[in-house]
Chains A and B, each alone.
Chain A
């Protein structure tokens, strides 16, 4: 018997006929009819009008028929809530059935019916099923709690189902455990702050035991849940890792990837010099390679994840570049991803092989792939200096093929090669110029124009070439127009005698005939510059340009860390945080890599571990920042005084006829500060003019660094000011400043680099978890050597102990204990800095006396000794002053 006939139903009177059949006396006929209904439902026909007739068929011993009716109910109950009540009795009865399969079926289906009245009836059966003797029923009931939570979260909490679910984590059956973990994980996503899962060492142990015994899917649920756990110390992290590593040999790639996620996260907690750390890194590589022999879709997921892993820990796969060579039969999405990883892994050792491969790829059929391969050759040249020459000659070979898109792509990357190695490969310009006519894409045209402008003195007919572009100036894209303007100005400055007419032409085209504000502004700037002082103009326009750096396409480090926490999931496939593509409350909670704790209990060496953990982060500064980072290091290596801005200014050039003073005295000041999550937002504000801002670098004792480039895209007008909010994180390079809360800032604009310094209120570096355990506090306080302690008087503070304590708490200074000695209030307090340093304090307040006595000590393992005592007290001063106002 075949069922396909149900898909071909006659059109007219269909519903009517079905109705008749559903009420037929014969069981078989009724079953046939229900099948027809389901087939119609699948195809998208509305068969909701048959609701009562279908529900009538529910009372049956035939399980197949029952399942079909349930399927129908799940689909249509919502549209017919009143009718759906008819089914309740049958459900409740089935939940008592002696057959566990039927009990489970009933509770499973009931959870899928989103009708309030039915949900009410669900509670009792569900409670029973959660304690059923049969594991099959229990595992189904566990999932049902998640279903119910989706319909009515309050009810789940009120009825105590969450506790029942937690009890199931200790169940004897591994599958029940796995489903309970899955359900709890999902529920806890919508309650980010509650510790629903209650991950403690005992529970973790239960999960790890179940991990060995449950189905492949259960293993995935458990591993994904484990990855959210923060082990208390490295020993615990290591023991969990040891029990997770066997999963790397599982045939199911999702099990492998979830295990990789756990290991990548916990690696953060292991000391880098331990043997185990090295062994673990070695163990990670083979399974990742094996994932590439799976089916293409899984390969794709694996490659997207490997892309992240390679950026986070390049050492894992650096020997394995060959496995990322593209195979002829790979689907295009696999090919493109492999190419990306190949470039990331390219190094001096393997560059010859990589280049040979890339050259092969550039002759393939798929246009996107070929373009990417050509671009990759350019990136190799920029990344591995020794290979630059070979890359250039390969690119030239490719240009000889005259394949249009290959030529254009090649010219774009050659421009970048010139920017990295200026004055090295100009000999090839002649070849490039031959292809001028075939360029029809803006990117390629702009690149070619840039090259001509930059090397105008060595190209005999540069003026002719640029003039040819000028003819259709207004039809070009903005990008090409801007480049052309700059190129002609460069040409003019290099060969003033022959090109005066040309430059006038382009300036008038850009300023008078164009509506584009960027183009006009740039045109006017050049015009003024040229008319005021050509010598200076030459210095400005033809000044030596910074070299470009290779790692421009890295994922920004905080995002990378977040994505590492999502290995295997959709976020890792999209390379986007979950809140970018998930609606509602799910997944909004952001994940962080665990941070190695300041070792309170180990206390081995006096070197503080906090700041090193911060330094372990890869030092990726958003692309343009790189260069400035270098500049700063050069200029400010030792903590010398910040060069004063005005003295650093280049010889006073009055570019805009009188605006110079306003140019050189911009002062950023920190305007308002707030702490959101672990990020510090600093609002910077300029009172004066800056021209177009290029980039922005911070240097301070706490490693404050902006996480995004400066979000200013249009140039500022004279005397215009702008407020910018810049998200900051504390993972940047650390340099001890004097005073401690000094922040040095460098801003680069067209004219030069400007340096400022300003004071950050120290209290923004106090973290929320700065509350020390009472016991720990006592011990630490006693252990603080005298030379680490400091007495300080705070004058004129008219507050009582409780208000002070409250205000300090708002600033993350926590009162651990309070006692009253001889009429004086003694407050014992602790705070923790973002770099893991603990500071303890005793505050003595005498009622009626506006002067407080403050005794501060830093815990023994700190390098705080190096700081001048005044800094420590200033910590408090800052806060208390804040309190008074």
Chain B
């Protein structure tokens, strides 16, 4: 298991050092500094073995977090723990910086004592930790309060405390997707996938039991069998095939595995409910049609058409098209129908920006690129044209069908909860070869 945990600043000075195992000595602190932080070349691996001691590190801005061990530990777990450690610190005092760490070092030691025992990670949900690690000492708690704390920390629902009350029960669901594309010049999709996240902000009283439903093909098909033929036909079009998904630990996985239903008691506040990936029937919000013509050896003519491919009532935002230019470009003239376009010599690209664009529209840019004659034999590799944008729908086609809330003990019903759903689709790596 984890033998020790160190936090360093960018110079390699130790800010926090906590040793859990006898086999880790003080020299381990220095070994990491000398061999990794002060190493000449770039870091080649997040796991380093120095004299039979293994160091795992992650970096947050210019702070290094390193876990040390001499055993054959679960490597994935160590990294997950380091990430979790960062989350916990961020939840307590904001950004992870040298100043914040120095200001809160007593708190950090207290946290490290709680969430890592003899190198074994323990409950590290901030919701639970904040009930008893407060930096104010333990005030005279009643016996009930104490046992409530311990049962929450060790309990099945370690991520939520009892007795939360809101005057207004409200929840926000954000479906955030990033759509990735690689397209051939002829418009053939070489690869496309969407990686999405469902982020939930819940402000609900008590211990609400939630059930989340979306247009998952497997679920719809199952229901479709029972329903009328018409239903099945209709929903068949709207449902989507999810390649894979992962869930926050509050979701009952065995229930998802057997019934494919997503039920959970949510943490309070903001958290990521699920992540998913789809590759089929993706709505590609934009189509890029490039046309590059070499006019002699010193001139290129580029014409790029972009077409928006969604409902006319919707608006795409923050559109940016990046057209790479050869290294020996001497001058560029651009004409675009919409937005602004500029040649950026330092980035070797023409950057075309459009603030907003409605669906089913089309726009065009044409450019003449003057080239310096070179004797370089190497041909220009023609990097792909890339795009950035943001659209108010989910390119995977995912739809939230319901999010039901039940709280049997308190008397508010599903109808009293105010629910908000928002879809945002962003470009990931969205490229068209030219």
Measured CB to CB, the residues of A under 8 A from B are 2-4, 6-7, 35, 38-39, 42-44, 62-65, 67-68, 70-71, 75, 98-101, 104, 108, 111-112, 114, 134-137, 139-140, 143-144, 146-147, 150, 173-176, 179, 182, 186, 212-217, 220-221, 224, 243, 245-247, 249-254, 256-258, 286-287, 289-290, 293, 295-298, 300-302, 322, 325, 327-328, 331-333, 360, 363, 400-401, 566, 568-574, 578, 581-583, 586-587
* Shortest Cβ distance from residue B431 to the other chain A in the assembled complex, whole angstroms: 10
State whether B123 touches A215 (Cβ < 8 A). yes
Task: Give chain B residues whose Cβ lies under 8 Å from the Cβ of A332.
Answer: 42, 44
State whether A4 touches B249 (Cβ < 8 A). no
Within 8 Å by CB of A566, from B26, B72, B147, lies: B72
State whether A246 touches B117 (Cβ < 8 A). no
Q: Could you tell me the distance between the alpha carbons of A528 and B106 in the complex, rounded to whole angstroms?
A: 80
State whether A297 touches B46 (Cβ < 8 A). yes
* Shortest Cβ distance from residue A300 to the other chain B in the assembled complex, whole angstroms: 6
State whether A250 touches B249 (Cβ < 8 A). yes
Task: Give chain A residues whose Cβ lies under 8 Å from the Cβ of B154.
Answer: 135-136, 139, 173, 175-176
* Shortest Cβ distance from residue A255 to the other chain B in the assembled complex, whole angstroms: 8
State whether B106 touches A64 (Cβ < 8 A). yes
1/0 contact string of B262-289 vs chain A (CB within 8 Å):
0000000000101101000000000000
**Interface residue? B105 (CB, 8 A):** yes
Q: Which residue of B lies closest to A216 (CB)?
A: B249
Q: Given A221-B120, A581-B49, are A298 and B76 also a contact pair (CB < 8 Å)?
A: yes
State whether A42 touches B16 (Cβ < 8 A). yes
State whether B80 touches A569 (Cβ < 8 A). no
Q: Which of B69, B83, B117, B137 has the most CB atoms of chain A within a 10 A radius of its CB?
A: B117
Q: Could you tell me the distance between the alpha carbons of A42 and B121 in the complex, rounded to whole angstroms?
A: 22
State whether B147 touches A100 (Cβ < 8 A). yes
How many pairs, one residue from A and one from B, have CB atoms within 8 Å of each other in the complex?
262
State whether A247 touches B102 (Cβ < 8 A). no
**Interface residue? B205 (CB, 8 A):** no
State whether B105 touches A3 (Cβ < 8 A). yes
Q: Given A3-B106, A286-B244, A583-B70, are A253 and B22 also a contact pair (CB < 8 Å)?
A: no
5 A-B pairs besides A135-B154, A220-B77, A249-B256 with CB distance below 8 A are A64-B136, A64-B137, A112-B20, A290-B244, A301-B76
**Shortest beta-carbon contacts, A-B, top 3:** A286-B244, A136-B150, A4-B102
State whether A302 touches B146 (Cβ < 8 A). no
**Interface residue? B58 (CB, 8 A):** yes
State whether A99 touches B146 (Cβ < 8 A). yes
State whether B249 touches A252 (Cβ < 8 A). yes
Q: Given A44-B14, A254-B80, are A249 and B247 also a contact pair (CB < 8 Å)?
A: yes
8 A Cβ contacts from B136-186 to A:
136-138, 141, 143, 146-147, 149-151, 153-156, 158
* Shortest Cβ distance from residue A163 to the other chain B in the assembled complex, whole angstroms: 20
- Chain B interface size range: 35 or more
Q: Could you tell me the distance between the alpha carbons of A258 and B132 in the complex, rounded to whole angstroms?
A: 31
Task: Give chain B residues whose Cβ lies under 8 Å from the Cβ of A134.
Answer: 147, 150
Task: Give chain A residues whose Cβ lies under 8 Å from the Cβ of B123.
Answer: 175, 215, 217
Task: Give chain B residues whose Cβ lies under 8 Å from the Cβ of A35.
Answer: 106
Q: Could you tell me the distance between the alpha carbons of A574 and B71 in the complex, rounded to whole angstroms?
A: 13
Measured CB to CB, the residues of B under 8 A from A are 1, 13-17, 19-23, 26, 29, 42-47, 49, 52, 54, 56, 58, 69-77, 79-83, 99, 102-106, 109-110, 113, 117-118, 120-125, 132, 135-138, 141, 143, 146-147, 149-151, 153-156, 158, 191, 195, 243-249, 252-254, 256-258, 272, 274-275, 277, 377-378, 381, 429
State whether B14 touches A290 (Cβ < 8 A). no
* Shortest Cβ distance from residue A846 to the other chain B in the assembled complex, whole angstroms: 56
State whether B102 touches A7 (Cβ < 8 A). yes
Q: Given A139-B154, A143-B120, are A569 and B74 also a contact pair (CB < 8 Å)?
A: yes
* Shortest Cβ distance from residue A208 to the other chain B in the assembled complex, whole angstroms: 10
Within 8 Å by CB of A252, from B29, B80, B158, lies: B80
Within 8 Å by CB of B247, from A135, A137, A250, A254, lies: A250
Q: Which residue of A lies closest to B101 (CB)?
A: A4
State whether A301 touches B248 (Cβ < 8 A). no
Q: Which residue of A lies closest to B273 (CB)?
A: A251
Within 8 Å by CB of B79, from A114, A243, A295, lies: A295
Q: Which residue of B lies closest to A214 (CB)?
A: B156
Task: Give chain B residues whose Cβ lies under 8 Å from the Cβ of A333.
Answer: 43-46
State whether B42 touches A297 (Cβ < 8 A). no
* Shortest Cβ distance from residue A78 to the other chain B in the assembled complex, whole angstroms: 9
Q: Could you tell me the distance between the alpha carbons of A569 and B49 in the complex, rounded to whole angstroms?
A: 14
Q: Which of A65, A254, A300 has the most CB atoms of chain B within a 10 A radius of its CB?
A: A254
State whether B132 touches A39 (Cβ < 8 A). no
Q: Which residue of B lies closest to A4 (CB)?
A: B102
Within 8 Å by CB of B56, from A3, A4, A217, A297, lies: A297
Task: Give chain B residues whose Cβ lies under 8 Å from the Cβ of A297.
Answer: 46, 56, 58, 79, 82
Task: Give chain B residues whose Cβ lies under 8 Å from the Cβ of A104.
Answer: 150
Within 8 Å by CB of A290, from B151, B246, B249, lies: B246
State whether A569 touches B1 (Cβ < 8 A). no
Task: Give chain B residues whose Cβ lies under 8 Å from the Cβ of A112.
Answer: 20, 118
State whether A217 touches B121 (Cβ < 8 A). yes
Task: Give chain B residues whose Cβ lies under 8 Å from the Cβ of A114.
Answer: 22
Q: Could you tell me the distance between the alpha carbons of A656 and B76 in the complex, rounded to whole angstroms?
A: 59
State whether B74 touches A43 (Cβ < 8 A). no
Q: Which residue of B lies closest to A144 (CB)?
A: B118
Q: Given A38-B106, A71-B109, A134-B147, are A249 and B249 also a contact pair (CB < 8 Å)?
A: no
Q: Could you tell me the distance between the alpha carbons of A593 and B417 in the complex, rounded to whole angstroms?
A: 52
Q: Could you tell me the distance between the alpha carbons of A845 and B200 in the complex, rounded to whole angstroms?
A: 80
State whether A302 touches B76 (Cβ < 8 A). yes
State whether A217 touches B146 (Cβ < 8 A). no
Q: Given A150-B22, A251-B247, are A571 and B72 also a contact pair (CB < 8 Å)?
A: yes
Task: Give chain B residues whose Cβ lies under 8 Å from the Cβ of A42.
Answer: 14-17, 105
Task: Give chain B residues whose Cβ lies under 8 Å from the Cβ of A252.
Answer: 80, 249
State whether A300 touches B72 (Cβ < 8 A). no
Task: Give chain B residues whose Cβ lies under 8 Å from the Cβ of A325.
Answer: 191
Q: Could you tell me the distance between the alpha carbons of A257 and B277 in the complex, rounded to whole angstroms?
A: 18
Task: Give chain B residues whose Cβ lies under 8 Å from the Cβ of A63.
Answer: 137-138
Query: What are 18 inter-chain pairs, A to B, with CB distance below 8 A?
Result: A42-B16, A44-B29, A99-B138, A114-B22, A179-B117, A179-B122, A215-B124, A217-B77, A246-B258, A247-B253, A249-B253, A253-B76, A257-B74, A298-B79, A333-B44, A570-B73, A581-B72, A583-B23
Q: Could you tell me the distance between the alpha carbons of A336 and B151 in the complex, rounded to whole angstroms?
A: 46
